[in-house]
Amino acid sequence: MEINPVLLGAYVSIARDVVVTGVAIITASVAIYGLRVWKRDVVGKESYEAAKALVYHSHALARASSKMRYPIREHERTVFSKEYIDNTTEGERWRTSEAAALRTRLKEYSDVYLGFYEALLSFRVIAGSQVYIAFQPFQNTLEKSLDRLYV
């Protein structure tokens, strides 16, 4: 049996094209799989960071909420001028000092609450509404304590 070089060249060319096509398909499959793994890793990392921020802000909000219930301390009291002391009673000065300290605490609390709410919404975007629903009792408790403050 004699091998025809012209036919052999055609068969080699066809075999080379089949091998190159197979390698291209395998390479594309590996690349798609790698992209999917990378995407899951990125989404998982974002989800972890968002959950971490939410837990941090919820603890900070709980601390700020409990700080609202503490009595006013000496360093939070207002220092009055001599003229103000002469023109007001001790009860008026106490009331003014307490109101100023409470306003300061409310400002701090609202800043912390804003951070918590932003973290909650960003995690809600990543993980869905079940996160928002899961934190609903925590939010209701905080609202009740603030309502008691204003009554």
Instruction: Collect all residues with Cβ–Cβ distance below 8 Å to 113 and sequence separation of at least 6.
Output: 61, 64, 142
* pLDDT for position 68: 81
pTM of the model: 0.63
pLDDT value for 149: 65
> For residue 124, what pLDDT is reported?
87
Q: What is the mean pLDDT of each run of 10 residues along the chain (151 residues)?
A: 72 85 89 86 82 90 84 84 86 89 87 89 85 84 72 56
d(CA 109, CA 125): 24
